[in-house]
Structure 1
Amino acid sequence: MKHSVATAAVLLSVLARASTAQAGDAVRAMPADAFIDTLGVGIHLTYMDTAYTNVRNVYDDLKWLGIRHVRDYPPGDRPPFSTYVFLAQLGIKFNVLTNPDFAWSVGAAARLNAAVPGSVVAVEGSNEIDNWPVSYHGLTGAAAGLAQQRDIYARVHAAPALAGVPVYDLTGFDTRKVESRAGSANYANQHVYPQNGEQPTYNSNGDRWMPAAIDAVKKYQLPMVITEFGYFSMPQSGWYMIGVDEPTQAKGVLNGYMDAAAAGVKRTYVYELLDEKPDPQNKDSGMHFGLFRNDNSPKPVAHAIRNLTTILNAGKTRRANAAAMRGSLAYTLSDMPVSANSLLLQKKDGRFVLALWNETPIWDRAIGKPVESPPARVGIDFGAKASRVDVYDPLVSTTPSASHRDVSQLAVDVPDHVILLEITAVGTPRL
């Protein structure tokens, strides 16, 4: 039986007292602010014939989403340097991606960080050298890219204006053939684009797009970023790099943001903020990756991200006392399928937010249509009573779909995308 997004997300009921679920060990919560800080998005200010020429829209979109981290090439002549300074002064943080003239790129990053201290949070090496090869000091292929990356690393760490700014690794080399990134990068870096319209982390056929990318760089023993991740909203059938419809894009991106944070990824940059150019006949997949359409109207994925950050930011004006901010919650999840995942967050006001999502199929690649699987009924035992539990579906609204008071056990139907349970533990200050 198929369920709509609205009904599949939040069918919540109190479990019978005879439930076998028992509260487990305390789970350490990730601060909600720290989670929001993992959210990034790619922009293209230098693409002067695209929707990015309107920098005010770029800023307004980022503010509307609740995202402040962007990835882009460095400022040059077009757009003017003042465009980057404008965004930086409004709190936008840049991961500066080096172009083939990496010495100039590092210098431009230093100039921006000097103009607005703290605006450059990283400098990234060459982009996908398997697709855009580089030549360097007589070398070609991966050898050129790896040699260039060592010099980028040295140049960044020698620049006084970039003191403390980390270097993200280049992308597009075969990690199986490279054993160390010492002297080359402070962060491992991967790109993740789930294929065949599949979920980011779990698929019953064995495809594990994000975990496979993470596993490939674990040997470097570095913190990690994902500097490109996403789906394009151009519904297609077939194999490999195929598009999905806009609601499915929203599910995949929201799940991917959560998957990455749950796996400890420092930051994930979704590709990209805006559909660059009009493509009404759906001939160019590259024009459909945006969170916003080319006319700057938000897609469902933009609404979902805004809803997510709005829910997590709600109540921040009042800080909880030390007792309420203990940072952990004892609970047990029962009947979680292998395809499901969870992440516990805590707001500044002391309330916890338990994110749950179940990565069942979302796209039928044979016919190019969305799939909605029945949700999984998951039991939650808090051990002690929670004074209130509100349930949200970020794909739908910032308004709770269900609210429960004075409960210690619940059952929730977990759909194929992220839902949020906001838990007010006993003793949390009233807002």
Structure 2
Amino acid sequence: MLDLNLGVQTDDRSVSLQTNPAGASSIAVTPNALFPEDRLAAVSSSSTLGMIGVTGEYFDNDDFTDSKLVRTDRTIDFDWGSESPSDQIASDSFSVRWTGQIQPTESGAYTFYTQSDDGVRLWINGQLLIDHWTGHAATEDSGSINLSAGQNYALKMEYYEGGGNAVAKLLWSSPTQPKQVIPESQFSPIGTSIAASQTPPETAKSAGSFIDSVGIVTHLRYTDTSYARFGDVIEPRLRELGIRHIRDGGNDAGMFDKLNRLAQSGIRSTLVMDPRDGVMPDNAVELLKKVMPSVVAVEGPNEWDVNTGLTYKGKSFPDGVRDYQTDLYNAIKSNAATSHLSVIAPSMAIPEYGSRLGSLKSVVDMGNMHSYAGGNLPAQDLDWRWISNTKLVSEDKPIVVTETGWHNAIGDTHASQKGVSEQVAAKYVPRLFLEYFNRGIQRTFLYELMDERPQPDQENNFGLIRSDGTPKPAFYSLKNLMSLLNDAPGSKATGGLSYSLTGNTQNVRQTLLQKSSGEFYLVLWSDVVSADAGVNQAVTLNLSSPIKQAATYLTNQSIDPTATYATPTQLALNVPDSPLVVKLTPA
């Protein structure tokens, strides 16, 4: 939604998002005795120490009637051919329901794959990831979800065989885990439980890397808007916020001076390169030399997929964008002054158009998303829609989100996406950065720093700061979180924490960080639709690692601790729909 041409892109900034992948909303999950809850409380169990495998119930019909056999299957890796799973079951027209728990080995985004002939459905933690409930030849389907290391998640997989060959397999992968059949060590039947003292440690990520992943969009050259107040609002508020990265664009000498001034405060820039501003591959290097060392990355053309009248060398999207990106990348990488800069892929408003653009892996260092949530939860459609389609363009390259966020014009009846109140945005904004960080997104730029004009429409109400210069609640909620977690650039995490969460853990998410001092910061939040009024879930944090001191913080309210504890082994917490930070000092 960076408006490189206010007259061209104003009406094409956002796209109405689907709520669920095709077919997902039509599936009704029927409770059954073997699977009483689709979402289990996270328990402290290690399947290598207890029972392993999943419970399989086998039916002699393809509609889960006439149960014949219940057994523990060590994995879901079956190719029965034209045979049957048991002599109690016919070779055609049978069904199987597997239920149990799965425990990831690391935190992050996992992709689950089913290979089936015929129909298959897969739920992880109550979320329907795969729904291919038709008769078909051997086919692979996939879906992604964010998981945390050492926690057990409910699993249910349903399968039916109509006729011919019978295949049912379940695999997974993550950014560091190659695709493989899920091993028996990571399964356990429902109800398996091991003492909290045996909880394996979760490796922490560095607090500094989280801070470095946070960015915000600015429009420093829009001097006919509130961005004209650079000296008394923009610059001091950016420093107050603790932000290290901004994203901007254009070809403007005054903007370049401001970028260089911000660089003196440690605030670096990602710049959009777009022909609409007269930025071409043959002059990009000379322009970039004017903002060295402010700039750390450049980005290809902005949302040409919804601006079909734009052309480069006579070509529109996708060919013109592909050619521009190729020429831009080659120009920047061939010059010693700019070759170190990261080159980000062009952005698209509609991620499905990635299939039209095709792979740009050879001319990008990072993928790019404009994953607006459409007024919904921070991770709305992120895994199945945005990330998967972005990889059609950037393949295995890291991903940067150069625009995302919410507007506060809740009274705008012509808005292209639903608005949220300032209080709700204060909850969603910090959660967004945490959700994206958990998925391995390298950097996320929130749209935008400041409302551009004092008008009640969508386009002028995306800011963390109102057009009169006063900060909104989301400004302070992000500022407090950044202040509490701040650590030196380049700091590393060196350890892990053994812990588990019990109680009402449904929808509870977490991020485990560590500062260079050795202190851990466990951030918890409830991933629910927020309203102005708060919600709380009673959760118990069980600590297996020895802790000398703990403190809790509600960063949407204050930077001051709400409680402190000496040598705790267990903490009773009320987890809200905004970040609850638990600071843990190892003994």
TM-score of the superposition, structure 1-length normalised?
0.82
Matches within 5 A, 1:315-334: 326-334=494-502
User: 1:362 — aligned with what?
Assistant: 530
Which residue of 477, 485, 507 maps to 1:312?
Answer: 485
Q: Against the structure 1 CA distance between its residues 240 and 408, is the aligned structure 2 distance closer, same or farther, given a 3 Å change threshold?
A: farther
Structure 1 CA distance, aligned partners of 2:195 and 2:396? 40
Answer with 1 or 2: which has the greater Rg.
2
SS at match of 2:403: strand
Q: Which has the higher contact order (CA 8 A, sep 6+)?
A: 1
Q: Deviation string for 1:312-368 (max 9, x for gaps)?
A: 138x79xx9x9xx632212222346452211111112211100111111115xxxxx
Contact 2:300/2:347 (<8 A) preserved:
yes
Which residue of 300, 308, 316 maps to 2:473?
Answer: 300
Q: Against the structure 1 CA distance between its residues 110 and 422, is the aligned structure 2 distance closer, same or farther, given a 3 Å change threshold?
A: farther
Which residue of 491, 511, 517 maps to 1:343?
Answer: 511
Contact 1:123/1:156 (<8 A) preserved:
no
Q: Are 1:36 and 2:214 counterparts?
A: no
Q: Are 1:396 and 2:575 counterparts?
A: no
User: 2:311 — aligned with what?
Assistant: 135
User: 2:265 — aligned with what?
Assistant: 90
Structure 1 CA distance, aligned partners of 2:291 and 2:347? 28
Matches within 5 A, 1:17-416: 21-56=196-231, 57-77=233-253, 79=254, 81-100=256-275, 104=279, 110-111=285-286, 114=289, 117-133=292-308, 134-172=310-348, 174-195=353-374, 197-201=375-379, 207-209=380-382, 212-218=385-391, 220-236=395-411, 241-279=417-455, 282=456, 284-313=457-486, 326-335=494-503, 337-363=505-531, 370=532, 372=534, 374-416=535-577
Q: Against the structure 1 CA distance between its residues 179 and 126, is the aligned structure 2 distance closer, same or farther, given a 3 Å change threshold?
A: closer
Q: Deviation string for 1:185-242 (max 9, x for gaps)?
A: 11010011112x32112xxxxx534663123224511100000011111224989611
User: 1:14 — aligned with what?
Assistant: none
What is the RMSD of the two structures over their aligned residues, measured on CA atoms?
2.8
User: 1:367 — aligned with what?
Assistant: none
* Cα offset, 1:387, TM superposition: 1.4
Q: Against the structure 1 CA distance between its residues 379 and 236, is the aligned structure 2 distance closer, same or farther, given a 3 Å change threshold?
A: farther
* Cα offset, 1:393, TM superposition: 1.0
* Cα offset, 1:114, TM superposition: 3.9
Structure 2 CA distance, aligned partners of 1:23 and 1:118? 49
Moved more, 161-170 or 140-149: 140-149
> Which has a greater percent of helix?
1
Structure 2 CA distance, aligned partners of 1:329 and 1:216? 34
Contact 2:220/2:255 (<8 A) preserved:
no
Contact 1:154/1:183 (<8 A) preserved:
no
Structure 2 CA distance, aligned partners of 1:395 and 1:108? 45
* Cα offset, 1:22, TM superposition: 4.5
* Cα offset, 1:184, TM superposition: 2.4
User: 2:94 — aligned with what?
Assistant: none
Q: Deviation string for 1:120-161 (max 9, x for gaps)?
A: 111000111123342122222322222222222112212322
Q: Alignment length, in residue pairs?
A: 386
Q: Against the structure 1 CA distance between its residues 61 and 412, is the aligned structure 2 distance closer, same or farther, given a 3 Å change threshold?
A: same
Contact 1:275/1:292 (<8 A) preserved:
yes
Give the % identical residues: 30
* Cα offset, 1:266, TM superposition: 0.5
Contact 2:256/2:291 (<8 A) preserved:
no
User: 1:12 — aligned with what?
Assistant: none
Structure 2 CA distance, aligned partners of 1:106 and 1:63? 32
Return the letter of the residue paired with 1:247.
Answer: Q
* Cα offset, 1:50, TM superposition: 1.0
SS at match of 1:222: coil
* Cα offset, 1:308, TM superposition: 0.7
> Which has a greater percent of strand?
2
SS at match of 1:138: coil
SS at match of 1:141: coil
Contact 1:361/1:371 (<8 A) preserved:
no
Return the letter of the residue paired with 1:258.
Answer: L
Q: Deviation string for 1:44-92 (max 9, x for gaps)?
A: 0111101111222222111100002000014424x25422322223322
Which consecutive residues of structure 1, in runs of 5 or more, have no partner in the other structure?
1-18, 202-206, 364-369, 427-431
SS at match of 2:302: coil
Which consecutive residues of structure 2, in runs of 5 or more, have no partner in the other structure?
1-193
User: 1:16 — aligned with what?
Assistant: none
